[in-house]
Amino acid sequence: PMKQDSMPFQPPQQMQELIPLDQFSNFQPQESTINPFQHPFQENDFQFAENAFSIPNYQYNIEIPIEPRRTFPETDPEIITFISDLRIWLSNLKLRSQFFDQMCELEVELEQYKPQQAYAQEVNYLQKQLSAIQQTSQKLCQKEQAAKLTMLKNEVSMQTKYLEQMQKNKLEINTQTKQLEEQREKLKTEIGGILKEITSIKEQQKELEKEIQLVNQKIKFQYQVKRGISNLSDEELEQQIQKDFNTAIHAKSEVEQIFNTKKEVLKKLESQNQFVVQQKERTKFQLTENVEAKTENIEIKLEKPEK
């Protein structure tokens, strides 16, 4: 006969926690016809639970260590095997009623887990969208970098064309410089010839001055002769002498005018030569400065392209 207690059956507080799976490592369940994919409770479970609380309290010395509760997804095979093994174990020990509340709590937890699963699916969907957005942004960045690279290549090609044009201009300026140097040499030869002519003119002027002196002497001599021989009066002789003297002065002024004209031509040639030299130096300096500036600009852009 079994003992009857005045107090109704009260399962220990630890029984409210789920039993961990590692307690069933040495347990060999019997064959069960229960389908774990059906509803976790059958109709006879409720009937047995009512009968369990109406019958006297049986004394079982069962000590089951309890660990903290663990939650499992409803489709996890561990929770499915746990439920099936738990059913068999409760049916064998006739303590199914003690775990009725825990089964209800487990069902409630499984119902509560469904929105978490939906949230996990939404998180996965958002992660996929994020990865797609990242791939799209990477493609856009690659396209932007390619566009910047093409722009840089076009700019480099333009700068290269400009540099080639500057080199052509430099060659043209070099040819022009050579031509100017040739013209300068020609001008030098011409100036040398003009200087020779000027020296010859100076010599001619000296000779003319000597001739003028001789003419003056002759005029004086003729004046003396005419004064003694001719029947001309003194006034007529003075007029004749003055006429001859004016003729000599006019010849001298013409010679001086020619000399001054040659002198002015020489000055103009020298100033033109100086202008040519200055223009050549200025053009060479500007060309060198432009080429160096463009070369530095191209090197800077090639070393540091736009991000």
Check whether 261 has a pLDDT greater than 70.
Answer: yes
**Residue indicated by tokens 């978490």:** 116
Walk me through the domains of the chain, giving residue ranges and CATH numbers.
Answer: 13-94 (no CATH), 158-303 (1.10.287)
Q: Tens digit of pLDDT for each residue in 220-242?
A: 776 666 556 555 666 776 777 77
pLDDT of the residue at 86 = 66
Query: Which amino acid appears at position 40 of this protein?
Result: P
Long-range contacts of 98-101 (CB under 8 A, 24+ apart): 98/11, 98/15, 98/52, 99/15, 100/41, 100/45, 100/49, 101/16
Query: Which amino acid appears at position 187 of this protein?
Result: L
Q: How confident is the model at residue 196 (pLDDT cuts 50, 70, 90)?
A: confident
pTM given for the model: 0.29
More confidently predicted of 151 and 94 = 151
Kindly state the tokens that stand for 80: 């499915």
Q: Tens digit of pLDDT for each residue in 86-101?
A: 667 656 655 555 556 6
Q: Tens digit of pLDDT for each residue in 27-68?
A: 454 555 555 555 454 445 444 444 444 444 444 445 555 555
pLDDT of the residue at 54 = 43
* Whole-angstrom distance, CA of residue 18 vs CA of residue 109: 12
